[in-house]
A and B are shown apart, each in its own frame.
Chain A
Amino acid sequence: GAGVSQSPRYKVAKRGQDVALRCDPISGHVSLFWYQQALGQGPEFLTYFQNEAQLDKSGLPSDRFFAERPEGSVSTLKIQRTQQEDSAVYLCTTALAGGGNEQFFGPGTRLTVL
């Protein structure tokens, strides 16, 4: 596709439920980042992939958060046993190679945990 796509666009989960958020990058983009954006805040870094390798996961807030990119293309961010504080917009961004290149963002997934 022409841009980064994310699905679902909106997700409502009950506390304790597991969720999976998907990111489809721009074809050929090697680097993929996940960010979490709380209301009124800037995006906060979660994790970074170069191809299928997860090079940095220092931003994941707890071990309930897990991300993968098994074939170096589509990535999934999984949150287990969701809590209310997980409510946020989850943004995926991709770049040709490395964070030093222009970033292209997806529309985000708005997660609401009740």
Chain B
Amino acid sequence: KQEVTQIPAALSVPEGENLVLNCSFTDSAIYNLQWFRQDPGKGLTSLLLIQSSQREQTSGRLNASLDKSSGRSTLYIAASQPGDSATYLCAVASGGSYIPTFGRGTSLIVHP
């Protein structure tokens, strides 16, 4: 059974810092990995989707990398802003039906 772990569980940083959020998974036979953002009381918003054949994806200040062999992905946030404050979740699609398995998320606070 796929297990997904996210470290750290919580992070509080001053505005302007560059951040790295980590996601690890136990079964490297994945189809893809997706990073989401969740604001309090809201659903999940997709940030980046990395297919298993890819090593990274970029969108604006966000960059996600994937290392299947070591079972890891990182989400890099450049020049963090207070508006980046949210919970960040990663989900790994694997198994016969490619059902996404989620980590517990990293709760990020960026203070001015």
Contacts and interface: CB of A to CB of B under 8 A. Distances in A.
Given A33-B99, A99-B31, A99-B98, A105 B44 contact: yes
A111 B3 CA distance: 26
Contacts of B109: none
Nearest to B4: A42
The 5 A-B residue pairs whose C-beta atoms are closest, nearest first, are A99-B98, A42-B102, A100-B98, A105-B44, A105-B43
Given A91-B44, A108-B43, A100 B93 contact: yes
B43 A106 contact: yes
B44 to A, nearest CB: 4
B60 to A, nearest CB: 17
A100 B101 contact: no
A48 B89 CA distance: 20
A112 interface: no
B104 A41 contact: yes
B7 interface: no
Contacts, number: 62
A11 B100 CA distance: 26
A43 B91 CA distance: 9
B contact patch SS: strand
B89 A103 contact: no
25 contacts: A33-B100, A41-B104, A42-B6, A42-B89, A43-B44, A43-B91, A43-B102, A44-B102, A55-B97, A56-B99, A91-B43, A98-B97, A99-B31, A99-B93, A99-B97, A100-B31, A100-B93, A103-B34, A105-B36, A105-B44, A105-B46, A107-B43, A108-B42, A108-B43, A110-B41
Contacts of B45: 105
A100 B98 CA distance: 5
A18 interface: no
A45 interface: yes
A91 B44 CA distance: 9
Interface string A35-63: 10000111111001000000110000000
